Structure 1
Amino acid sequence: MYKSEQLAKQIRHLIENGTLKAHEKLPSLREQVQISGFSLITVMNAYQELESRGLIYAREKSGYYVSNTIVDVELARPLIVSLNSKVEINSLVFQYLKSIQGEHIVPLGSAFPSQDLVFSKKLTQIMGQIARNKKSYDAIDNLPPGNLFLRKLIAQRYCMQGIPTDADDIVITSGCMDALNLSLQAIACPGDYIVLQQNIFYGALQAAERLGLKVVTIPEHPQHGFDLEAFEHILKTYPVKVCWLMLNAHNPIGFTVNEEIKLKIAELLHQYQVHLIEDDVYEEMYFGQQKPLPMKYYDQNNLVLHCSSFSKTLGAAFRVGWVYAGKYSQHIQHLQLMSTISVNALLQNALVDFISNYHYEKHLRILRKSLQQNKLQFYRYIESHLPKGCKLHYYPGGYFLWLKLPESVSSMQVYEQLIQQNIGISPGQLFNVSEQKSQCLRLNCSFEWNEQFQQAVDTLLHSIGTFEAT
Structure 2
Amino acid sequence: MIMYKSEKLVQHIKQLIENGSYSANTKLPSLRAQAQVTGYSLMTILNAYQTLIAEGRVYSKEKSGFFISEYNYNTYQKTNTVETSQPQKIKINSKVFSYLKQTQASDYIYFSSAFPDEQCLYNTKIMKILAHYAQQKPIGTTNKNMPPGNLKLRQQIANRYILQGIPTQADDIIITSGALDALNLALQTLTQTGDYILLQDTIFYGAWQAAERLGLQVITLPTHPQYGFNLQAFEDLLQAYPIKVCSFMLNSHNPIGFTVNDKIKEKIASLLEKYQVYLIEDDTYQELYYFGQKPLPMCYFEHQNRVLHCSSFSKVLGANIRIGWVRTETFSEKIQHLQLMSTLAANTLIQETLANFIATPYYDKHLQKLRKQLYQRKNLLYHLLLRYLPSSCHIHYYSSGYFLWIELPNHLNSTALFQILLSQNIGITPSHLFSIHEVPHNYIRINSSFHMDSQHKQAIISLAHAIKYLIYQRMPALLHYFKTDSNAFRRL
TM-score normalized with structure 2 length: 0.81
Structure 2 gap ranges (5+)? 1-17, 19-53, 60-67, 474-492
Instruction: Output the amino acid matched with 1:362.
Output: K
Q: Does 1:29 align with 2:63?
A: no
Q: 2-side partners of 1:407 and 1:384: how far apart? A: 21
User: 1:75, 1:249 → 2: CA distance?
Assistant: 23
Match of 1:391 in 2: 394
- Alignment check: 8 A CA contact 2:199 2:221 kept: yes
The answer on 1:382 being equivalent to 2:408 is no
SS in 1 for 2:86: strand
| Cα distance in structure 1, aligned partners of 2:314 and 2:56 | 44
Q: In structure 1, how many angstroms separate the alpha carbons of the residues matched to 2:74 and 2:426? A: 37
Contact 2:285 2:401 in 1 (8 A): yes
Please name the residue that 1:421 is paired with. Answer: 424
SS in 2 for 1:244: strand
* Distance of 2:73 and 2:263 partners within structure 1: 18
Q: Which residue of 405, 412, 431 corresponds with 2:434? A: 431
Query: Matched residues in 2 for 1:210 and 1:377: separation?
Result: 39
CA distance in 1, matches of 2:381, 2:74: 25
Cα offset, 1:137, TM superposition: 4.8
Hey, what's the Cα distance between the residues in 2 that align with 1:371 and 1:103?
A: 23
* Aligned equivalent of 2:367: 364
Shift of 1:44: 11
Residues 185 and 335 of structure 2 are in contact (CA less than 8 Å); yes or no, is this contact kept in structure 1? yes
SS of match in other structure, 1:316: coil
TM superposition shift of 1:29: 3.4
For 2:447 and 2:141, the matched residues in 1 are separated by 38
Q: Is the 8 A contact 2:78 2:232 kept in 1?
A: no
1:343, 1:232 → 2: CA distance? 37
Give the corresponding residue for 2:490. Answer: none
Cα deviation, residue 254, structure 1: 0.2
Tell me the equivalent position of 2:8. none
Mapped to 2, the partners of 1:349 and 1:275 lie a distance apart of 32
CA distance in 2, matches of 1:40, 1:300: 31
- Please tell me whether the aligned partners of residues 195 and 215 of structure 1 are also in contact (alpha carbons under 8 angstroms): yes
Verify: 1:341 aligned to 2:341, yes or no. no
Q: Distance in 2 between matches of 1:414 and 1:116?
A: 28
Aligned-partner Cα distance in 1 for 2:253–2:188: 23
Report how far residue 458 of structure 1 moved.
0.8
Once the two structures are TM-superposed, the CA of residue 81 in structure 1 deviates from its matched residue by 1.8
Partner of 2:134: 131
Cα RMSD for the two superposed structures: 2.0
Distance 1:337 1:83 in 2: 35
Query: Residue 210 of structure 1 aligns to which amino acid in structure 2?
Result: R
C-alpha distance in 2 between matches for 1:115 and 1:444: 12
1:304 pairs with one of 271, 296, 307? 307
TM-superposed deviation, 1:76? 4.2
Quick check: 1:42 aligned with 2:71? yes
Residue identity matched to 1:451: S
Decide whether the 8 Å contact of 1:29 with 1:40 is kept in 2. Answer: no
Amino acid at match of 1:223: Q
Which residue in the other structure is 1:287 paired with? 290
Q: Deviations over 1:10-35 (max 9, x none)?
A: xxxxxxxxxxxxxxxxxx7349x9xx
Select 1:163's aligned residue among 166, 172, 184: 166
Matches of 2:90 and 2:440 in 1, distance apart? 16
Deviations 1:375-406 (A, max 9, x none): 00000110122214210100000000000000
- For 1:251-262, list aligned pairs within 5 A: 251-262=254-265
1:59-74 matched pairs, under 5 angstroms? none
Contact (CA 8 Å) 1:313, 1:364: kept in 2 or not? yes
**Does 1:323 pair with 2:352?**
no
CA-CA distance at 1:77 after TM superposition: 5.7
Aligned to 2:64: none
CA distance in 1, matches of 2:56, 2:410: 37
Residue of 447, 451, 456 corresponding to 1:448: 451
Q: Compared with structure 1, are the counterparts of its residues 30 and 311 closer, same or farther at alpha carbon in structure 2 (3 Å cutoff)? A: closer
- Distance (Å, rounded) in 2 between the aligned partners of 1:102 and 1:179: 29
Summarize the Cα distance change of 1:43–1:292 in structure 2 as closer, same or farther, 3 Å threshold.
closer
Asked if residue 212 in structure 1 is aligned to residue 238 in structure 2, the reply is: no
TM-score, normalising length: structure 1? 0.85
Pairing 1:232–2:235 present:
yes
**Shift in Å, 1:429:** 0.2
Query: In the TM superposition, what whole-angstrom CA distance separates every residue of 1:280-311 from its partner, at most 9, and x where no partner exists?
Result: 00000001131100011112211000000000
Q: How much has 1:146 moved relative to structure 2?
A: 0.2
The corresponding residue for 1:404 is 407
After TM superposition, the structure 1 = structure 2 runs for residues 75-90 of structure 1, keeping only pairs within 5 Å, are: 76=79, 78-90=81-93
The one-letter code of the counterpart of 2:71 is: T
Q: In the superposition, relative to structure 1, how do residues 123 and 30 fare at CA in structure 2: closer, same or farther (>3 Å)? A: closer
1-structure distance, mates of 2:376, 2:80: 35
* 8 Å Cα contact 1:89/1:209 also seen in 2: yes
Q: Which residue in 2 is equivalent to 1:97?
A: 100
Query: How far apart are residue 102 of structure 1 and its match?
Result: 2.6
Aligned with 1:232: secondary structure?
helix
Distance in 2 (CA, whole Å) between partners of 1:121 and 1:302 is 38
- Cα distance in 2 between the residues matched to 1:278 and 1:354: 25
SS state of the match for residue 243, structure 1?
strand
Structure 1 runs (4+) deviating above 4 angstroms are 43-46, 74-77
The alignment covers a number of residue pairs equal to 413
Closer, same or farther in 2 for the Cα pair 1:238/1:43, shift >3 Å? closer
Counterpart code for 2:329? G
Distance in 1 (CA, whole Å) between partners of 2:80 and 2:118 is 42
Letter in 2 for 1:387: P
Measured against aligned partners, the alpha-carbon deviations of 1:52-104 in whole angstroms (never above 9, x if no partner) come to xxxxxxxxxxxxxxxxxxxxxx9846322223411100000001011111321
Q: Secondary structure at the match of 1:323?
A: strand
Mapped to 2, the partners of 1:77 and 1:350 lie a distance apart of 52
Q: Is the 8 A contact 1:83 1:214 kept in 2?
A: no
